[in-house]
Amino acid sequence: MAPYEIRIIGDPVLRQPAVDVTDIDGRLVALAEDMVETMYAAPGVGLAAPQVGVQKRLFVYDLGDGLGPRTMVNPRLLEARGEFSWDEGCLSVPGLSWEILRPDEVHVVGLDLDGNEVSIEASGYEGRVFQHELDHLDGVLLVERLDPDQAREARRLVRDLMLARDASPEPAPRRGLTLR
């Protein structure tokens, strides 16, 4: 069983901006390890601390590129350019996805779990994962990135999802960023 339960749309913690991490210590490392386990169990490719109810500015991710799980502490988006549309889902909006337009290339800076500075220029899927997780740290869900037609559909689907979850003793299936 995963160490954390992933918070689902409707939970107010998902709408609150996370605060900067002030100390990188053993507790933060343990949090990141538990988040990675939770992310894999979901399954997903990224998970931000607010999604497990922790209001700290950090996220974990694994792009499936053989480098394994990584952590970004206090990440910031410095630059973004271009456009890239992709069918995007979220562990906090389980089972649903929408085509979302985001910048194609991003420059993200932050720290790793050793306190070393990290600077990553990313594009395509990797850039999308970073932007998605950064949104969570800013209290933004992917449904806020939808065009008006998608937003109408999303309100209906999310309402149905929440009603089904309330009526069912079993949690709904979880899904992260998707490749389509």
CA 26 vs. chain centroid, Å, equals: 23
Q: Which member of 5, 83, 133, 153 is catalytic? A: 133
121 part of the active site = no
Spatial CA neighbour of 133 closest among 88, 79, 66, 84: 88
Residues recorded for the chain: 180
Which residues are CB-neighbours of 29 under 8 A, at least 6 positions away? 113
- Convert 59-98 into a string of H (helix), E (strand) and C (coil): EEECCCCCCCCEEEEEEEEEEEECCEEEEEEECCEEEEEE
Looking at residue 56, what DSSP letter applies?
A: B
Residues designated catalytic: 133
